[in-house]
Amino acid sequence: MSALTVVVVHPDLLGTYGDGGNGVVLAQRARWRGIETELVDATSDLPLPTGDLYCLGGGEDAAQTASAERLREEGTLERAVGQGAVLLAVCAGYQIVGRSFPAADGRPLSGLGLLDVTTTKGRGRRAVGEILAEPLDEGLPVLTGFENHGGLTTRGPTTAPLARVTAGVGNGDGTEGARSGRVVGTYLHGPVLARNPGFADLLISWATGRVLHALDDAEEAALRKERIAAVRAGRAGGTVRYAPGPS
Amino acid sequence: MTTGRLPVRARAAVAATRAVNALSRRLGAGSGSVAGGHVGLALDPRLLERLAAGRRVALVSGTNGKTTTTRLLAVAVGGALGRAATNATGSNMPAGHVTALAGAPPGAPAVLEVDEGYLPHLVASLAPETVVLLNLSRDQLDRTNEVRMVAGKWRAALSEAQAPSTTVVANADDPIVAWAAQRAAHPVWVGAGLPWRQDAVGCPACEGRIAFAAGATGEEGGWRCTCGFARPRLDVRLDGDCVVTADGRRLDLALALPGRFNRANAVMATAAAVTAGVDWDDALRRIADVDEVAGRFAVVEVAGCAARVMLAKNPAGWGELLDLVCPGDRAVVVGINARLADGRDPSWLWDVPFERLRGRTVVATGERCRDLSVRLRYAEVPHRTVRDQVAAVRAAWMAARGPVDFVGNYTAFTDLLARTTRTGA
Ligand SMILES: [Zn+2]
């Protein structure tokens, strides 16, 4: 048995934005440290396997609903998280692990309740574009990514946001993502861990309990520098903001 | 004079279309393919319908292969039906269509490449004789053109009630396309294959799951959902280097264009030509010599270095091009931009199996070479990163001392093509 099992959940349903890349980044960064790692693509036609670190990605409305129903019926993910597994949920996946999220017609559907957040349909246009957010703990450097969603997400009183938005939309109230224990949700898709290797290492250290030595992240550093500069100079393009609702 | 039968307003609009395009070409402001069309449509919003009236019209749409299939279909019908009016440069929205038709003789058949989003509008306004549907997969997702939404609009527009006289030539190996064409009055089902299935596993009829048989192209393959929605019975299919016709004949596809995907495009184009009355042998003979399409697959000279240039815009297209490039041993230059025409979000790089480039000399280039470089790092593909595309081709050529393969996404490809010095054989 491997020291670390990374499970990409339902890549056939929730893999719209290259989200499978998060699993690749986690597995490679663990392997490069000599941690024996298995990467499992867990398609929705088979029972969800047990693992140490789960990744959920983004998807279209119908696929998001199908994945949520399957996960709720099965209960494997909730059990794994209850037993200490780490979960990174991105975009549609972030909405699924909350208390409820909107169907294509806006009707609320039950999520898995692993994060105390509720998502409703945003008014106006989708939030599409580069996003920058300052993490609120763990000493991570600024998070850089791309968002593409139409949801407004509000947190319950005891759930902390992951970060504070400095460019882009995020949850819609100036915060981005949510965290509760070892469950993290974020609107940064794309895959977020490729642009934020420190975030990837944080998840690996939670899942393995190990202190990780630094890697030579020259390529990531060059990409981060370029994207952060482009957003700060207003050259990134494509950012569309909808009017945030009262929250 | 080719505009005699048009109303005065339309005649003025045609004259303006031609004049603006000629001016734009002379000034070097563009290829002269859309500016005039915009002016013409402003003068007469119904100009496209008027120009298409009395012509036999074929429309070609889908995520990948539109430009090539349009070219092949125009060439295939050219002998029997006469030289076709076509938007050869891939300007696939109404202004480009107006330009294509404004310059064509009256009565010439029209073979038009159509953007996926515009297809329903054009089907309704032009009542085409033939519509060719190639495939539908993720592409430029930040425009929120969700695959199923597009397919639903196609399905409504192509239903028997809406398009009673239209023949729909559809790739039956793509369940999304099959669903879009299911209600058509006259479907022709072609087994053209579908290597990229990640956007096709969700059943469009019931939201269940499509099961693909191994191979999934031709007779041995197929797909089916538990709801009963299944691949239609094939009329024509691609089988390796052959096309198998409805009457069981096996005909050789001897194409100058490389790759499985171009054989698929060729089968779709010839099947459409045959439904329009062209003979199989004639159609296949005519398309065999096409060796580049709007610059794609041409060998060009970049700063003194020979490069075969190719275009791939999305994961499905990249998968097919890696099939073509990977058996070789040439140095590979990969160019990535993320302008509006490419989609601003290069996340899709993680859907492309770049791991297959391991062991090759690889240079990452283009405006988003940094994103590509990170992707290649995790694919464990050693590479150099050279932002300027011409310098990148040169670096690859120097390293390999021989011709290189360049694969770029849309604006990366067109940028490099604009900077080539000479087109060779
Ligand atoms: Zn079904």
Q: Are residues B139 and B218 in the same domain?
A: yes
Give A84→chain B minimum CA distance, Å.
27
Evaluate whether residue A19 is within a structural domain: yes
Per-residue confidence band for B123, with pLDDT thresholds at 50, 70 and 90: very high
Q: How many domains does chain B have?
A: 2
pLDDT of residue B197: 85
Evaluate whether residue B293 is within a structural domain: no
Boundary residue ending a domain (B226, B258, B287): B287
**pLDDT per position as a tens digit, B332-376:** 999 999 998 898 899 999 999 999 999 999 999 999 999 999 999
In this prediction, residues B19-44 reach a mean pLDDT of 81
Neighbours of A108 (CB within 10 A): 14
**Extended beta strands in B245-372, E state:** 250-252, 299-302, 305-311, 331-335, 362-365
Q: Decide: B181 and B133 in contact? Cβ < 8 Å.
A: yes
Evaluate whether residue A183 is within a structural domain: yes
**pLDDT per position as a tens digit, B282-311:** 999 999 999 989 888 989 999 999 999 999
**Extended beta strands in B240-320, E state:** 242-244, 250-252, 299-302, 305-311
**pLDDT per position as a tens digit, A107-158:** 999 999 999 999 999 877 789 899 999 999 878 999 999 999 989 999 999 8
From the list A13, A16, A238, which residue is nearest B344 (CB)? Answer: A238
Q: Return the higher-pLDDT residue of B421 and B353.
A: B353
CATH of the domain at A195: 3.40.50.880
Note every long-range contact of A71-78, with CB atoms under 8 Å and residues 24 or more positions apart, other chains counting.
A71/A9, A71/A10, A71/A96, A71/A112, A72/A110, A72/A112, A74/A47, A74/A48, A76/A47, A76/A48, A76/A50, A77/A9, A77/A48, A77/A112, A77/A114, A78/A112, A78/A113, A78/A114
pLDDT of residue A218: 97
Best residue in A46, A149, A223 for a mutation probing chain B (most B CBs within 10 Å): A223
Q: Are residues B26 and B123 in the same domain?
A: yes
In this prediction, residues A66-77 reach a mean pLDDT of 95
Evaluate whether residue A105 is within a structural domain: yes
Q: Return the higher-pLDDT residue of B110 and B21.
A: B110
Which tokens is A86 given? 């780490």
Give the end-to-end CA distance of chain A in Å, rounded to a whole number: 46
CATH of the domain at B102: 3.40.1190.10
pLDDT of residue B327: 87
Q: Are residues B21 and B157 in the same domain?
A: yes
Boundary residue ending a domain (B229, B256, B287): B287
Q: Note whether A18 contacts B: Cβ–Cβ < 8 A.
A: yes
Weakest-pLDDT range from A199-213, B16-30, B174-188: B16-30
Boundary residue ending a domain (B232, B257, B287): B287
Q: Are residues B151 and B229 in the same domain?
A: yes
Q: Note whether A49 contacts B: Cβ–Cβ < 8 A.
A: no
Note every long-range contact of B205-208, with CB atoms under 8 Å and residues 24 or more positions apart, other chains counting.
B205/B179, B205/B229, B207/A62, B207/A65, B207/A66
Distance B180 CA to ligand 1 centre (A): 14
Q: Are residues B47 and B113 in the same domain?
A: yes
Q: Are residues B205 and B100 in the same domain?
A: yes
pLDDT of residue A106: 86
Evaluate whether residue A33 is within a structural domain: yes
Evaluate whether residue A166 is within a structural domain: yes
CA distance A188 to A177: 8
Q: Are residues B221 and B260 in the same domain?
A: yes
Per-residue confidence band for B216, with pLDDT thresholds at 50, 70 and 90: very low
pLDDT of residue B215: 57
pLDDT of residue A154: 96
Q: Are residues B147 and B259 in the same domain?
A: yes
**pLDDT per position as a tens digit, A160-200:** 999 999 999 999 999 999 999 999 999 998 789 999 999 99
A contact residues 51-80, partner B, Cβ 8 Å cutoff: 60-63, 65-66
Q: Which range marks the domain in which residue B26 is found?
A: 3-287
Q: Say yes or no to pLDDT of B424 above 60.
A: no
Scanning A123-217, the segments in alpha helix (DSSP H) are 192-195, 197-208
Evaluate whether residue A81 is within a structural domain: yes
Q: How many domains does chain A have?
A: 1
Q: Are residues B124 and B222 in the same domain?
A: yes
Per-residue confidence band for A97, with pLDDT thresholds at 50, 70 and 90: very high
CATH of the domain at B370: 3.90.190.20
Q: How far is CA B376 from CA A62, B177, B409, in A?
A: 32, 33, 16
Q: Say yes or no to pLDDT of B31 above 70.
A: no
Evaluate whether residue B351 is within a structural domain: yes
Q: Which range marks the domain in which residue A52 is found?
A: 4-232
Q: Are residues B305 and B282 in the same domain?
A: no
Evaluate whether residue A240 is within a structural domain: no
Catalytic residue numbers of A read: 91, 189
Per-residue confidence band for B220, with pLDDT thresholds at 50, 70 and 90: low
Evaluate whether residue A247 is within a structural domain: no
Per-residue confidence band for A241, with pLDDT thresholds at 50, 70 and 90: very low
Q: Are residues B413 and B313 in the same domain?
A: yes
Evaluate whether residue B150 is within a structural domain: yes
pLDDT of residue A119: 96
pLDDT of residue B213: 86
Evaluate whether residue B336 is within a structural domain: yes
In this prediction, residues B4-22 reach a mean pLDDT of 86
CA distance B66 to A227: 33
Evaluate whether residue B199 is within a structural domain: yes
ipTM, interface predicted TM-score of the complex: 0.94
Share of chain A above pLDDT 90, in %: 77
Evaluate whether residue B294 is within a structural domain: no
pLDDT of residue A87: 98
Q: Are residues B329 and B396 in the same domain?
A: yes
